[in-house]
Structure 1
Amino acid sequence: MRTWITVAATELGLVVLGLVAAVLSWRQGIQTTTFAAIGQAPEFVATRYVAPWLLLAAVLVALAGLFAIDAGTRVVRARQRR
């Protein structure tokens, strides 16, 4: 049985899950609030950046990249052995 195929497929699945989770955490890390106009003051939008969510997104992207590199090297090495 070819275990490298199973490992590479699992790693590629983890890449996809990691990227989806990174996008979701990035969206949580940027919060906008709209303040209505009051008298002479105009309406404006305030943006708040939540560092833990943004850090989590960066770590997830880095891990997904490492899994992608590892899966790619497993496939290349398996093809070279043939």
Structure 2
Amino acid sequence: MRGWGAAAAVELGLVVLGLVGAVLSWRHGIQTTTFAAAGPTPEFVATRYVAPWLVLAAVLVALAGVFAINAVSRVVRHSRDN
């Protein structure tokens, strides 16, 4: 693998890591709490959104997209040159 191939492989690895990190941070960003029934009040589930985790997930997805576009452009550019 030459320089362009190694760079494309590293970028694709960063895409995978970015997407895994985005999924993990998204899961931390949505927290649910179940409140038990008390007398006439029924049971309900409250959902809390934690903004910093959700913003981190969005940033990681955006960066993964940029790396994916760059890796594809490297491969396409190299295939056109040969």
**Aligned match of 1:37:** 37
Aligned-partner residue type, residue 66 of structure 1: V
Q: Distance in 1 between matches of 2:20 and 2:51?
A: 18
Q: Distance in 1 between matches of 2:68 and 2:27?
A: 23
**Aligned match of 2:5:** 5
| TM-aligned CA deviation for residue 13 of structure 1 | 0.3
Aligned-partner residue type, residue 26 of structure 1: W
Q: Distance in 2 between matches of 1:15 and 1:27?
A: 18
Secondary structure of 1:46's aligned partner: strand
**Aligned match of 2:63:** 63
Consecutive aligned runs of 4 or more in structure 1 exceeding 6 Å deviation: none
Unaligned runs of 5+ in 1: none
| TM-aligned CA deviation for residue 51 of structure 1 | 0.2
Q: Distance in 2 between matches of 1:6 and 1:62?
A: 22
Q: Across the two proteins, how many residue pairs are aligned to each other?
A: 82
Aligned-partner residue type, residue 34 of structure 1: T
Q: Distance in 2 between matches of 1:46 and 1:56?
A: 22
Secondary structure of 2:80's aligned partner: helix
Secondary structure of 2:32's aligned partner: strand
Q: Distance in 1 between matches of 2:5 and 2:60?
A: 23
Aligned-partner residue type, residue 75 of structure 1: V
Q: Distance in 1 between matches of 2:13 and 2:75?
A: 15
Tell me the percent identity: 76
Provide the alpha-carbon RMSD of the alignment. Answer: 0.7
